Amino acid sequence: MKYVFYLFFILGLISCGDTTDNNPNLPNVNVNFTVDLNLPQNNNLIIGGHVIYQSVGVRGIVVDFNGLTYSAVDLACPHKELQNCSTMTVDNPFVVCPCDNERFQIFDGASVNDIGYSARTYQVAKNGNILRISN
């Protein structure tokens, strides 16, 4: 029994590692906000679609709903240092960096052309009609 306790203790320590994505182009920012699906400005998240929240994340966060799951992706181009053109736009099911038209999947942030960095994603937890977006 003592060994089982130590095993779980060690596994718990390993799982408490750094959750940052170690991207040298993007600063680490704390993200923790809620979205009330009952509010009219969030109607696109009820019927499918996306809503952009400008004042969170590095360059804003797009929250997307495909009818089954929610996702949250930062709009900062992950492969570029912050500059005038490094705020991505939404072209569902992608976010697109206007500096060079690189595309990233909106649901997992994966680079379409495998350029080395994925778009920064955030956790989305749904509780009733409230979404909590955090890192």
pLDDT tens string 41-97: 999 998 779 999 999 999 999 999 988 899 999 999 999 999 999 999 999 899 999
18 within a domain of the structure (yes/no): no
Q: State the total domains in the chain.
A: 1
32 within a domain of the structure (yes/no): yes
121 within a domain of the structure (yes/no): yes
Q: Give the torsion sign (CA, 66, 18, 57, 87).
A: negative
55 within a domain of the structure (yes/no): yes
pLDDT tens string 2-49: 443 343 444 343 334 444 568 999 999 999 999 999 999 999 998 779
At 52, which CATH number?
A: 2.102.10.10
Q: What is the domain extent for residue 55?
A: 25-134
Q: How wide is the angle at C-alpha 53 spanned by C-alphas 65 and 25, nearest 5°?
A: 100
pLDDT at 123 over 60: yes
pLDDT tens string 99-114: 999 999 999 999 999 8
Burial status of residue 59 (CB atoms within 10 A of its CB: 0-12, 13-18, 19 or more): middle
103 within a domain of the structure (yes/no): yes
91 within a domain of the structure (yes/no): yes
95 within a domain of the structure (yes/no): yes
